[in-house]
Amino acid sequence: MAVNLSKIKIILQTLRDRYPVVKTQLEHETPFQLLIATILSAQCTDNQVNKVSKTLFLAYPDPKALALAPLNRIKKIIYSTGFYNNKAKNIKACAQVLMNEYEGIVPDEMDKLVKLPGVGRKTANVVLSAVFCHKTIVVDTHVLRISNRLGLTDKKDPVKVEYELMEIIPEKHWNDLSLQLIYFGREICDAKKPLCPECPLLKICPSGKKSR
Ligand code: SF4
């Protein structure tokens, strides 16, 4: 999909001005903890994950401990993040695979990360960018929604959107842009009630103009 270069520049500049410093909101002390926190963040707020992960990582701070943890105990701790049955099975299995195949070390390759239980492309991209400083675009629900609203893509599939954004956004902006769009989605371009009248991107946003 063809996107005007000056429009991209305005979006990048506006987001950079508004959010000059961005980083993942998921609290963690190690790559492993970020990996687990990101798995837990599916369909859950970062705040809620942080509350839960504090207890989880106190009890099971590394792959070795989590691999041996009783499943029911994990379920109890992470219950409030939703989908706790699957998440508990996945994070325990993920820790076991890390121990059995990677000596407890989180791999820094997409192909290996997405083979870990509970890890999809989005989670892998979060870890690759935040921990290993790879250039990636994380397409979560905010990035997907706002990219469509701004007319940067017309695709609904996150992987297709990721590739389309990589085509039109200069690589040096990838990591920050993902986080800036997440911040922006929480603050302004809400899923249900976007604050279009006060949005700094209103002039170049097809969806915002339609809503006027
Ligand atoms: Fe979102 Fe509205 Fe801003 Fe467009 S104008 S980016 S729809 S808040």
Mean pLDDT by 10 residues, the chain (212 residues): 88 98 96 98 96 98 98 98 98 98 98 98 98 97 98 97 97 97 97 97 92 68
Residue 185 CB less than 6 A away from ligand 1: no
**Number of folded domains in the chain?**
2
Same domain assignment for residues 100 and 62:
yes
In this predicted structure, what is the pLDDT of residue 32? 98
What is the number of helices (H) and of strands (E) in the chain? Answer: 12, 0
Residues counted in the chain: 212
In this predicted structure, what is the pLDDT of residue 16? 98
Parent domain of 83: 31-130
CA 127 to CA 132: how far, in whole Å? 7
* Amino acid, res. 188: I
- 51: CB partners within 8 A, 6+ apart: 80
The residue from 73, 101, 130 where one domain ends is 130
- pTM of the predicted model, to two decimals? 0.93
In this predicted structure, what is the pLDDT of residue 163? 97
Reading the block at residue 204, the tokens are 């170049």
Best residue among 11, 189, 212 to mutate for probing ligand 1, ranked by most atoms within 8 Å of CB: 189
In this predicted structure, what is the pLDDT of residue 2? 76
Residue 202 CB less than 6 A away from ligand 1: yes
Q: Which of 165, 105, 106, 107 is nearest to 136 (CA)?
A: 165
In this predicted structure, what is the pLDDT of residue 20? 97
| Residue 76: its H or E element | helix 71-78
Which region holds residue 30: left if phi is over 0, alpha if psi is between -120 and 50, else beta? beta
Q: Which of 172, 115, 114, 177 is nearest to 140 (CA)?
A: 177
Same domain assignment for residues 83 and 120:
yes
What does the longest C-alpha to C-alpha distance in the chain come to? 56
- 110: CB partners within 8 A, 6+ apart: 121, 124, 125, 128
Which CATH number is 166's domain given?
A: 1.10.1670.10
The residue from 130, 162, 196 where one domain ends is 130
In this predicted structure, what is the pLDDT of residue 212? 64
Q: Which atom of ligand 1 is nearest to the CA of 188?
A: 8
Best residue among 142, 205, 209 to mutate for probing ligand 1, ranked by most atoms within 8 Å of CB: 205
Same domain assignment for residues 161 and 177:
yes
- Given the residues 87, 92, 122, 155, the one annotated as active site: 122
